[in-house]
Structure 1
Amino acid sequence: MSPERLVVIGGDAAGMSAASQARRLRGPDELEIVAFERGHFTSFSACGIPYWVGGAVAGRDELIARGPEEHRARGIDLRMRTEVVAVDVAGKRVRARELDGGGGEFWTSYDKLVIATGARPVRPPLPGIGAAGVHGVQTLDDGQALLETLRAGEGRRAVVVGAGYIGVEMAEALIRRGYDTTVVNQDSEPMATLDPDMGRLVRRAMTGLGITMVDDAEVTKVLTDGHGRVRAVATDDVEFPADVVVLGIGVRPETGLAREAGLPLGEHGGLLTDISMRVRGHTDIWAGGDCVEVRDLVSGGERHIALGTHANKHGQVIGSNVGGDYATFPGVVATAVSKVCDLEIARTGLREKDARRAGLQYVTVTVESTSRAGYYPGAAPMTVKMLAERRTGRLLGVQIVGREGAAKRVDVAAVALTAGMTVDQMTALDLGYAPPFSPVWDPVLVAARKAVAAVREAG
């Protein structure tokens, strides 16, 4: 009896985690695994690309967790530079195309299918957007291309379009590379994943680095020179000279294949799955990583979050289920951290507009504290904002901006959100204390105490 065949589309975090976990549970005589990857690399850290571009990470290979040969040595038939161009759900097969060597297209049947096609950078259809010197940053190939442009040294002016996580991190990387950097942001403050009052703290840090911030501005076109290279980015009334442009507008799920195959997509364009990461309505198809939508444990809705942490967990869950075990991914509380130089930025749960969209009544509090006991050397300011449900006191969200020690403090709030704790319950948490690490009352607990008072005052 021939083994079952698992076909995996996508060779990064979710896809190869799924393949590796399935292989651990089932040997080659039980399960044949064929994986297709259209790029040049597998199992790499896209989150590390800004730090590689900025010079904090020495080289590209440091971002690669496991190369193709390592996967093949584990019994996975990994086919690089091979793009899946169609999924035939009824026939249980995929059509693939070799991108190098002119090998043409061919069909491969499957018993079980994993879709891990990732996400793609938002690239608005603006005049000149395809000009030389305009870069998205999603893959190692993207990072390499950007570095080559920077090393060519044709001018020292950079424009970053967008001020989300990638935009902010790339702006810092460009400053470190010696570029005069302008960030054009269509929102009122950077980091739209924060409330504007917390985003304002990030803007101050960015301007302190020498980054020019242009808020409430929308790019309408990219201007080019006579050789087809970018020379400026324009809004309706201003031009910003640029020798290189980086798109930091965000990403969208790469679900063109899924859409054409008739698989279910959510309002954000991501594939919809159950808690076992099985595509809804399809017994033998799973999906994970940046191409799916996941359940928000706080609001109860679906959301798209492109993070390697989730992708690896999805892959483990998928691989376990494909391999005959059982695992689930219940959802997320939307925890994320970043930094601008030494300013750490963290959030988890809902922002104010998220809470309003979910129809929740809430209170907010903001506290100023320090990272360590005030008398201990190196104590630095920290701002914590907390949202709690007005009637019940249930924690809804936390945002933290500060120096050393700020970002990972959000993990306490992430655990509390996952457990469905109230702010009153949080005040009794037994957190670690010593003057080099925290004040007697940790900043998160100070915010929780203040939130308890706000809930009581609201009746």
Structure 2
Amino acid sequence: MATERLVIVGGDAAGMAAASQARRLRTPDELAITAFERGHYTSYSACGIPYWVGGEVDGPDALIARTAQEHRARDIDLRLRHEVTALDLDRGRVLTRELDDGGRESWTGFDKLVLATGARPRRPGLPGIDAPGVHGVQTLDDGRALLDTLDASPGRRAVVVGAGYIGVEMAEALIRRGYEVTVLEQSAQPMSTLDPDMGALVHEAMCAMGIETVRGATVTGVLTDEGSAPGGGRARAVTTQDAEYPADVVVLGLGVRPETTLAAAAGLPLGASGGLLTDLAMRVRGHDHIWAGGDCVEVLDLVSGQLRHVALGTHANKHGQVIGANVGGGYATFPGVVGTAVSKVCDLEIARTGLLEREARAAGLRFVSVTVEATNRAGYYPGARPMHVKMLAERRTGRLLGVQIVGREGAGKRVDVAAVALTAGMTVERMTALDLGYAPPFSPVWDPVLVAARKATAAVRDAGA
């Protein structure tokens, strides 16, 4: 029997998890695996980059889960600094360019193809946005480039554009490095992944850290040493409609979009966000021999029933496991997500799962919303700190729709209780009976999540009445 050829485009979480799982199931004589990665690193934690920049963890080696040498030792032909520039689906081959060898190009044939091209930072088409000193942060190479700029910078003024997860985490990292940090956010509150009332709590914490947060700020460009024309000198300031903010370094925290340039050029199906569309087995729709996973795909939201783009390493690794099992002759599926995410700014923990109010409205759902303030421990126990929990429930059925939590130590991971309840399709009334662990150092007698569930249950009953 002829050896099958598997080609993987992208050497981070989804791509190399797929390669590793497929290798467990198929020998090199049965399946030859070739993976192309345009960067210098493979199988790394992009989520750890802000903590590397802030000096809390070592990098980049500490952020690498499995090195290229380790992959190659398992008979995976991993080629770093190789960029795939074209897909020829009719002939079953990919065109690659060697980035460190004079740009030499070559074709590689495949019987099965995995696209794990990830996502790219949003970089709006504004004057000066590509100037030296303006950084997106998505890969370890991006993190290294930012650190090089910080080390060479004679000044200590940083501007972060956008106050989502990356923006907030990078603002904290820059504060830790001794920079004066200004965050420019277009929305009324930071963290648009929360409802505005919960985002206001994050804003208070950022101000307490000394981070200047300008809300309602529409960025219009980046000024350089030679003026505001694109292609000028180094970044020296960021402009908005109302003001100019000096900057020795600029970090873009505007989120990411799926990197599907190759897929689009090849005519593969894309969703509303630009992510690849797959079936439950992570196979690209309409193409039996092509799979896709990680930040370049759209996934099913189990709460709203709609497709969405969610760029998280947890999902990417699961996608890779599913793909590798199916490519290797086994069987696995990825059913979808409930939208769980957790972050922090200094000691403030921020978490969400399920739908926000605007997302519930967009899905056509009628709901009640409640917010409670409790403590992370028994109120009398030393170190008890306030915690805010917001909960959404479907108005007629009482089905849990979403939870947001903002608080100190022990707040963030409480969202996992809600994530399980969402996945199980529980009502808020059913949640009130959950047998959660209790001891004064960890929780009040009534856990804050259960207090919110009780209040939501009452709101559902009142709405029905």
CA distances 1:217-255 after superposition (whole Å, capped 9, x unpaired)? 110010011470111100112000111100000000000
Aligned residue number for residue 288 of structure 2: 283
Aligned residue number for residue 135 of structure 1: 135
Aligned residue number for residue 414 of structure 2: 409
Is the counterpart of residue 180 in structure 1 residue 185 in structure 2?
A: no
Which deviates more, 101-110 or 335-344? 101-110
Cα distance in 2 between the residues matched to 1:91 and 1:192? 44
Cα distance in 2 between the residues matched to 1:38 and 1:48? 20
CA distances 1:275-314 after superposition (whole Å, capped 9, x unpaired)? 1000011100000000000000000000001100000000
Aligned residue number for residue 83 of structure 1: 83
RMSD (Å), alpha carbons: 0.8
Secondary structure of the residue aligned to 1:141 is: helix
Cα distance in 2 between the residues matched to 1:358 and 1:435? 40
Is the counterpart of residue 146 in structure 1 residue 146 in structure 2?
A: yes
Is the counterpart of residue 296 in structure 1 residue 292 in structure 2?
A: no
Q: CA deviation at 1:36?
A: 0.5
TM-score (norm 2): 0.98
Aligned residue number for residue 398 of structure 2: 393
User: Among the aligned pairs, what percent are the same residue?
Assistant: 78
Aligned-partner residue type, residue 262 of structure 1: G
Secondary structure of the residue aligned to 2:335 is: coil
Aligned-partner residue type, residue 143 of structure 2: G
- Off by >6 Å, runs of 4+ in structure 1: none
Alignment of 1:93-242 (within 5 A): 93-102=93-102, 104-226=104-226, 228-242=233-247
Cα distance in 2 between the residues matched to 1:164 and 1:276? 31
Q: CA deviation at 1:103?
A: 5.4
Structure 2 unmatched runs, 5+: 227-231
Aligned counterpart in structure 2 of residue 352 of structure 1, from 346, 354, 357: 357
Q: CA deviation at 1:150?
A: 1.0
Alignment of 1:293-442 (within 5 A): 293-442=298-447
Aligned residue number for residue 229 of structure 2: none
Secondary structure of the residue aligned to 1:382 is: strand
Aligned residue number for residue 458 of structure 1: 463
Cα distance in 1 between the residues matched to 2:455 and 2:186? 33
Aligned counterpart in structure 2 of residue 446 of structure 1, from 445, 451, 465: 451
Cα distance in 1 between the residues matched to 2:91 and 2:51? 44
Is the counterpart of residue 48 in structure 1 residue 48 in structure 2?
A: yes
Aligned-partner residue type, residue 435 of structure 1: P
Q: CA deviation at 1:58?
A: 2.2
Aligned residue number for residue 37 of structure 1: 37
Cα distance in 2 between the residues matched to 1:153 and 1:84? 34
Cα distance in 2 between the residues matched to 1:211 and 1:322? 48
Secondary structure of the residue aligned to 1:290 is: coil
Aligned-partner residue type, residue 200 of structure 1: A
Q: CA deviation at 1:108?
A: 1.1
Aligned-partner residue type, residue 325 of structure 1: G
Aligned-partner residue type, residue 26 of structure 1: R
CA distances 1:341-373 after superposition (whole Å, capped 9, x unpaired)? 000000000000000000000000000000011
CA distances 1:182-201 after superposition (whole Å, capped 9, x unpaired)? 00000000000000000000
Cα distance in 2 between the residues matched to 1:97 and 1:156? 38
Aligned-partner residue type, residue 405 of structure 2: I
Aligned-partner residue type, residue 394 of structure 1: R
Aligned residue number for residue 244 of structure 1: 249
Aligned-partner residue type, residue 297 of structure 1: L
Aligned-partner residue type, residue 366 of structure 2: Q
- The count of corresponding residues between Structure 1 and Structure 2 is 459
Aligned-partner residue type, residue 321 of structure 1: N
Cα distance in 1 between the residues matched to 2:54 and 2:167? 13
TM-score (norm 1): 0.99
Cα distance in 1 between the residues matched to 2:382 and 2:280? 47
Q: CA deviation at 1:122?
A: 0.4
Cα distance in 2 between the residues matched to 1:153 and 1:216? 29
Secondary structure of the residue aligned to 1:291 is: coil
Aligned residue number for residue 272 of structure 1: 277
